[in-house]
Structures are given as structure tokens and as C-alpha cells.
Amino acid sequence: MNNILILEEIELKNKFLATLLTGAILTATILSGCQGNNGKAASGTVSGGENSASTSENATQKKLKIGVTVQSLNNPVWAGDCATMKQLAEADGNTLTYMSCDDTSSKQISQIENFISSKCDAIMVNPSDPNAIENVCKQARDAGIKVFCWDNTMKNTDINWVIDNNKLGYMIGEQAAGFIQDKFKDGKCEVAVLDYPQTAILLEREKGIMSALKEKAPNAKVVAQQPSIDASQGLNAMETILQAHPNVKVVCCIGGGGAVGANEAFKASKKISADVGIFAADATNEELAAMLAGEANRMSVMVTGTPEVQAQAVYKMLVQLGEGQKFESQNIYRDMFPVTAENAKQYYKP
């Protein structure tokens, strides 16, 4: 049920019960303390400042304060997910603050320290370097703050929401290899890889790509590799690669940002043909639009679902952590599936 509708129902119920119990004056006090209800059925104690009432049927949970730090907000996936989570939090009366560490561990440590000082209930980290933030995440947990890691299997966390990145990379490479075998005689063509080895999980993804290409398209040749985490880097990297290797036909990217930039480079060079293909992960709206337009983006692996679905899933878990709920496992692995022009319409948002 929609969180806002649930909130409205709870407020109506609380108003009715409070009226029966304490009268109109106390009702106003109780309602002022109910505005932060996060959309779950209330029970226990209601606090209305110095004047308060307690009943097993009428209570509110405190407003939650959530801090989020990600590698980069230049990445459209992170930017969209963070904005959606903030909207969900505001709808529930919670507070969610998000920021970018610009892929700098010292900056991310400082951000987490600030979240601790501001007494957040839960902190979500998308680590620049997971090892570098283990100690500060331990400090957060020692302070009673729940810690959620998006992407890495860290030690000092309550939940790690993770991907089997080698498997994901293999899916990218496997899809590219199938394209190569279909479009090129004897499977011979030049391939570029847009990677990001400075981040451990993306290095693992890159390894999966390379393994699949070697196994499934042994006659293809990787002639260039460039780091690209967002569209700007992808565009610059692909322009450079096409200048040095004008016969590159297939590009494997570790993420959707680089894939969007690579597509723009091919469009600018007017080299998009039926045998040109970009294969990646994230399935961003920009990638899906390019697929549907018949551009170079041919496939992108979607993880969990659309950015909205991802954001909803993460926000729900952050709220559950903030409320003290327990999870069966520290590591929660995410589903993955390929999106192509054939099924892109069901995920694309105009």
C-alpha cells in the first residue's frame, strides 16, 4: 500500500482514539507528535512533550535520520537512486541526507564521521574503498547506528547489499561474445573495454568480462582499455580509442555511465552500423532510450530492477534497520538479468 495512504489511515485512527481517551486538547498534542510516522502501524507509547499519553493501541515511532554517502553523483544511477530515496523519506516524515565523496576515501570518512556526530539512525555507504572505511563504520555501529553497505561485502556493517560482480561481468562479456559470433566471420573483431580498476568490485566485474570474451569469443581482440565511471569519462575515453583504433566495433563497459558516453562518441563519429555494439550494466534510462532508437547500446544488465525499484528496496531496508529489525543474513545478493531492445520498453520511462 502506498506509504502516504497508510500514513493518512494511521493519523485518522490516532485522532479517533485520542479523542475518546483524552479529549480535544490532548488530541491536538498527540497529533503534533504523530507527523513523523513512517507509514507502519503504530503501537506502544505516544509522546507529546510534557503532556503525553500512553496506550497499547496509540503510538508513533520516532522520525528517522538517515545519512547516505556514495562514490559519485555524476553517475546517473546514483544520482537518481539518491533523489528517489530522499523523496520516499520525506513522504514518510523521515530525514535523508545524501552526498558524494567524489571517489575519495578521506572525504567519505569525514562524511561518515559527520553522520555519527549528527546522531543518524542509519547510514548507507557506497564505498570508494571499503577497507578504508571499516574503522569509521565500526565507530558508527559502536554508537548504535545501523550501517548499510551498497555494493561491497564489508565486515563492520549490518547489511551488505551486493552483486556477484564476476558473474555480472561475465554476463556482459557473454552477451558481447554472442553479438561478435553473430556479426563477424570467424568471430574476429576489435574490442574496447571501459573499466574502472581503481574500485575493487569493478575490477572484479572487469575480470568477468575478460573471462567471457576469452572463452566465448577467442578470436576477438581487446585493443584498448580505458577507465570510465560516468558518461563524460566514457565519451572522452571512446573518442580517444576511436582515434587510435578506428576499427573497434564492440565495447564492453563496467557500467551504464561509460556506456552512454561511448554511444555518444559513436554517434559523433557517425560510425553506428549493425555490427557496432555496446554492452554494459545498470540499464539506465539513457541506455534504454538508445536501444529503442537503434543506436549502439545493444544490451545492459539490469540489477534488481529500475532505479526506482532499487531505491525503494534500499530505503525500505534502511527504515527496517533504523527501527531495529533483524535480517537473516548480513549479505543480501541481488538478482540480475539482461535488457535488450526486445524488452527495453517495459523498463524505459519516457
The closest of 228, 210, 207 to 220, measured between CA atoms, is: 210
Q: Which CATH class is domain 165-303?
A: alpha beta
pLDDT in tens, the chain (350 residues): 334 333 344 344 444 334 333 433 333 333 333 333 333 333 222 223 333 333 223 334 689 999 999 999 988 888 999 999 999 999 999 999 999 999 999 999 999 999 999 999 999 999 999 999 999 999 999 999 999 999 899 999 999 999 999 999 999 999 999 999 999 999 999 999 999 999 989 999 999 999 999 999 999 999 999 999 999 999 999 999 999 999 999 999 999 999 999 999 999 999 899 999 999 999 999 999 999 999 999 999 999 998 889 999 999 999 999 999 999 999 999 999 999 999 999 999 98
Instruction: Spell out the residues 6+ positions from residue 29 whose beta carbon is closer than 8 angstroms to its own.
Output: 48, 49, 51, 52
Instruction: Spell out the residues 6+ positions from residue 273 whose beta carbon is closer than 8 angstroms to its own.
Output: none
Return the CATH architecture of domain 65-162+306-334.
3-Layer(aba) Sandwich (3.40)
Are the C-beta atoms of residues 240 and 223 closer than 8 Å to each other? no
From its phi and psi, is residue 184 left (phi > 0), alpha (psi between -120 and 50) or beta? Answer: beta
Helix axis angle, 307-322 relative to 76-92, nearest 10°? 50
Q: Grid coordinates in use for 38?
A: 513512517
Residue 288 has what pLDDT? 97
Residue with cell 531495529: 324
Domain edges within the chain: 3-54, 65-162+306-334, 165-303
Hey, CA dihedral for 133, 139, 140, 145, is it positive or negative? Answer: positive
Residue 75 has what pLDDT? 82
- Fold identical between 65-162+306-334 and 165-303? yes
Are the C-beta atoms of residues 74 and 230 closer than 8 Å to each other? yes
The closest of 139, 86, 89 to 110, measured between CA atoms, is: 139
Query: Mapped to the 3 state alphabet, what secondary structure does the chain carry?
Result: CCHHHHHHHHHHHHHHHHHHHHCHHHHHHHHHCCCCCCCCCCCCEECCCCCCEEECCECCCCCCEEEEEECCCCCHHHHHHHHHHHHHHHHHCCEEEEEECCCCHHHHHHHHHHHHHCCCCEEEECCCCHHHHHHHHHHHHHCCCEEEEECCCCCCCCEEEECCHHHHHHHHHHHHHHHHHHHCHHHCCEEEEEECCCCHHHHHHHHHHHHHHHHHCCCCEEEEEEECCCHHHHHHHHHHHHHHCCCEEEEEECCHHHHHHHHHHHHHHCCCCCCCEEEEECCCHHHHHHHHCCCCEEEEEEECCCHHHHHHHHHHHHHHHHCCCCCCCCEEECCEEEEECCCHHHCCCC
Measured CA to CA, the distance from residue 350 to residue 342 in angstroms comes to 17
Measured CA to CA, the distance from residue 337 to residue 291 in angstroms comes to 16
Q: What mean pLDDT value characterizes the chain? A: 86
Residue 77 has what pLDDT? 82
Residue 61 has what pLDDT? 67
Are the C-beta atoms of residues 347 and 283 closer than 8 Å to each other? yes
